[in-house]
């Protein structure tokens, strides 16, 4: 009788677990975007949320939680309950901030071990932008001027140690120049600042920049890509112009660590299917961002490689107030 009772209890647990898995999701899911509207995380996350809603049968609601180069939103998700009802579309700055905390000798905002990696969605090359009326017609002219006037040429970033800050410092290290960093609360505000003439330089993905390039408001002096970008075939890379740097603003999906395997599998399947959704693909194509999908071990390997490369840049940057 005792064995039968134990067996019955075990079966009941299995039935409950199966029922729980089948029930997910049974309420709306929150997708945190750790930047303001208008940046690459937002213009990727919103169409993804629409596509995932169709796959999961529940609303996926985007919530912009900006601040500190993405760290505010990252930390929020790191501390969220790992039940599948809080996910995040984050950029490459997510792997930079833990190293920045270490360099600055401050308590860790979060660690990458606080997250469950789901999938990579895109990996946009970053391009260097100047206003249409800027005096520099080439990257060489800009660098020569920066060497003659250390700390006088300013650039707008998405926040301290954010993606734009990191890529500009990567170039500054390679060119041995000093630029003036002006941080904003996200890529959207940074682009607005450049267009308003508040700063001399900016960096964005081709998709975010494209309407302003076509309108003649800004020019492109170079790309941090490993090869020329299809949408900007006439723009030379930094490497072509003598600076051995490469940087991408990539977007990926994460959830809190400790996500149950069945829930992780459900979310991953929804993201995988959403990445193939014609409306999602079209939304990214409209901003010149191709889907670059990776999941599982492929995404984890991508994260490991990018983390090592960017951590080296942050250590050279040192403490930044």
The closest of 165, 221, 166 to 190, measured between CA atoms, is 165
Q: What's the pLDDT score for residue 180?
A: 97
CATH of 127-223, one of 3.20.20.100, 3.40.190.10, 3.30.2000.20, 3.40.50.20: 3.40.190.10
Q: Is 143 helix (H, G, I), strand (E, B) or coil?
A: helix
The closest of 192, 227, 230, 234 to 209, measured between CA atoms, is 192
Q: Tell me if the bond preceding 25 is cis, omega within 30° of 0.
A: yes
- Residues contacting residue 207 through CB under 8 Å, at least 6 positions apart: 40, 43, 124, 284, 286, 287, 288, 289
Q: What's the pLDDT score for residue 259?
A: 97
Per-domain residue ranges of the chain: 29-124+249-317, 127-223
Q: What's the pLDDT score for residue 2?
A: 56
CA dihedral 285, 287, 290, 295 (to 10 degrees): -110
Strands 218-223 and 127-131: antiparallel
Is 147 within 8 Å of 177 (Cβ atoms)?
A: yes
Q: What's the pLDDT score for residue 3?
A: 56
Instruction: Please provide the DSSP assignment of 146-201 as one string.
Output: HHHSTTTSEEEESSTTSHHHHHHHHHHHHHT---EEEE-SSHHHHHHHHHTTSSSB
Q: What is the strand order of the sheet 127-131 is part of?
A: 202-204, 127-131, 218-223
Is 43 within 8 Å of 50 (Cβ atoms)?
A: no
Does this model's pTM top 0.85? My answer is no
**CA atoms of 261 and 279, how far apart (whole Å):** 28
Map tokens 């800009």 to a residue.
142
Q: Tens-digit pLDDT profile for the chain (321 aa)?
A: 555 555 555 444 444 444 444 589 999 999 999 998 988 899 999 999 999 999 999 999 999 999 888 899 999 999 999 999 999 999 998 999 999 999 999 899 999 999 999 999 998 889 999 999 999 999 999 999 999 999 999 999 988 888 899 999 999 999 999 999 999 988 889 999 999 999 999 999 887 898 999 999 999 999 999 899 888 999 999 999 999 998 988 999 999 999 999 999 999 999 999 999 999 999 998 887 889 999 999 999 999 988 998 898 899 888 875
Q: What's the pLDDT score for residue 22?
A: 58
Q: What's the pLDDT score for residue 149?
A: 97
**CA atoms of 159 and 34, how far apart (whole Å):** 11
- H helix or E strand, kind and range, residue 31: strand 29-33
Q: What's the pLDDT score for residue 188?
A: 84
**Can you read off the two tokens belonging to residue 173?**
């290290």
**CA atoms of 316 and 311, how far apart (whole Å):** 9
Phi, psi of 4 (to 5 degrees): -65, -40
Into which CATH architecture does domain 29-124+249-317 fall? 3-Layer(aba) Sandwich (3.40)
Q: What's the pLDDT score for residue 13?
A: 44
**Can you read off the two tokens belonging to residue 305?**
């490689």
Q: What's the pLDDT score for residue 5?
A: 53
**CA atoms of 201 and 223, how far apart (whole Å):** 13
How far is CA 123 from each of CA 127, 141, 306, rounded to the nearest angstrom? 13, 28, 11
**Can you read off the two tokens belonging to residue 106?**
């401050």
Is 229 within 8 Å of 292 (Cβ atoms)?
A: no
């Amino acid at each position: 009788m005792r064995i039968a009772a134990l067996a019955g209890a075990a079966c009941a647990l299995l039935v409950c677990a199966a029922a729980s898995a089948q029930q997910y999701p049974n309420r709306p899911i929150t997708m945190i975007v750790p930047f303001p509207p208008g940046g690459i995380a937002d213009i990727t996350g919103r169409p993804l949320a629409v596509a995932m809603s169709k796959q999961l049968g529940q609303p996926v609601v985007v919530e912009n939680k900006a601040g500190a180069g993405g760290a505010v939103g990252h930390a929020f998700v790191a501390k969220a309950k790992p039940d599948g009802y809080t996910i995040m579309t984050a950029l490459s700055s997510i792997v930079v901030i833990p190293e920045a905390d270490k360099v600055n000798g401050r308590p860790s905002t979060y660690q990458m071990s606080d997250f469950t990696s789901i999938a990579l969605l895109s990996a946009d090359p970053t391009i260097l932008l100047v206003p249409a009326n800027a005096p520099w017609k080439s990257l060489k002219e800009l660098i020569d001027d920066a060497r003659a006037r250390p700390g006088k040429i300013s650039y707008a970033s998405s926040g301290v140690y954010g993606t734009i800050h990191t890529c500009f410092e990567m170039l500054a290290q390679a060119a041995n120049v000093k630029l003036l960093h002006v941080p904003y609360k996200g890529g959207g505000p940074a682009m607005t600042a450049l267009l308003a003439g508040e700063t001399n330089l900016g960096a964005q993905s081709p998709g975010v920049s494209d309407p302003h390039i076509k309108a003649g408001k800004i020019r492109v002096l170079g790309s941090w890509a490993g090869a020329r970008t299809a949408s900007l075939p006439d723009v030379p890379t930094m490497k072509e112009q003598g600076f051995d740097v490469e940087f991408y603003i990539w977007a990926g999906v994460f959830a809190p660590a400790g996500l149950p395997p069945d829930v992780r599998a459900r979310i991953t399947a929804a993201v995988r299917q959403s990445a193939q959704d014609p409306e999602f693909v079209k939304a990214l194509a409209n901003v010149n961002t191709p889907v670059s999908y990776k999941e599982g071990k492929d995404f984890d390997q991508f994260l490991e490689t990018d983390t090592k490369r960017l951590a080296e840049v942050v250590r050279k940057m040192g403490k930044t107030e």
